[in-house]
Amino acid sequence: MKLLSAVMILASSLAVAQPSIPPPPVPVPDSTAPGPWKHAMVAGVTLTQIAFKDWTQGGENALSYAITLNGRSNRETESLLWSNIYKFSFGQARLGSQGLRKTDDKIDLESVLSINIDEPIDPYASLTLKTQFATGYKQEAATGIRTPVSKFFDPAYLTQTVGFRYKPLPQVNTRVGAGLREVITSVYRTYADDPSTPEIEKIKVDGGFESVTNIDFQIEENVVFTGKLELFSAFKTLDEVIVRSDNSITAKVGKYVSVILNIQIINDTRVTPRTQIKETLSLGFIYTVI
């Protein structure tokens, strides 16, 4: 009996003396690994020569400054692609003793969520907003009188669309869908008013078809063309197509210096029967933030 007790005490002592085995280490996430989000942002300050023709939101030819900020935030997984594009620009010019005048003004936001189904076309839903920062004026050439014609969020163009996205080439991305287009105003109601009704509407909502095509093409090593064509036709007036086109050629002449030629075209007969054209030739400092 004494021998059995001694053996048990010795066994217990050996068990206590054995070093404990540590648990397996908990894996720590790699903070340097790329996440699902990819961001890009480019800021620019340019000296600009601008020419206008029938631009209803105000502005005049000038030698001016302009500040721009363009960015993109994308989240891509195996089944989803969420693309967000934001474009901001603002510029002013001083003409003699007439004070500062607006020459460039844009807020352009776009969010597109598409589902990857491993087919030539993918379903998508999109939301876009177009408006401006400051008051725009139209000046009478004969009298010099300036009349305000637009301001912040007046007008604002909001479009929600669902449809299908197609990418025939790596440089070309197009989508077609059906949705709603809202024109929102507060003071300058001519942008939203329906002349066929006695009331003066400040909000106009149209259901219709939308088509958006984006092109990003590298012409040369330092020359890039980007273009966007937007078409919208309301269900009740399918023979009338609202056209918006924004095209730029950017030539990089130095590490931070670029020349940019931009041409915008708007054809919206509800606002004016004439086609609006805006041409901008810029030489300025461009810096990649992200």
pLDDT in tens, 105-119: 999 999 999 998 877
**pLDDT in the model for residue 53:** 81
What residue spans define the domains of the chain?
Answer: 36-288
Specify the DSSP class assigned to residue 116. Answer: -
Confidence of residue 86 (pLDDT cuts 50, 70, 90): very high
Topology classification of domain 36-288: Porin (2.40.160)
**pLDDT in the model for residue 55:** 79
Q: Look at phi and psi of residue 221 and say left if phi exceeds 0, alpha if psi is from -120 to 50, else beta.
A: alpha
CA distances from 195 to 13, 36, 190 (A): 99, 48, 9
The answer to whether 222 and 198 are in contact (CB under 8 A) is: no
Confidence of residue 240 (pLDDT cuts 50, 70, 90): very high
**pLDDT in the model for residue 25:** 56
For 214-223, how does the pLDDT look when each residue is reduced to its tens digit (9 = 90+)?
A: 999 999 999 9
∠ CA 105-109-112, nearest 5°, is 160
Lowest mean pLDDT among 117-121, 245-249, 272-276: 117-121
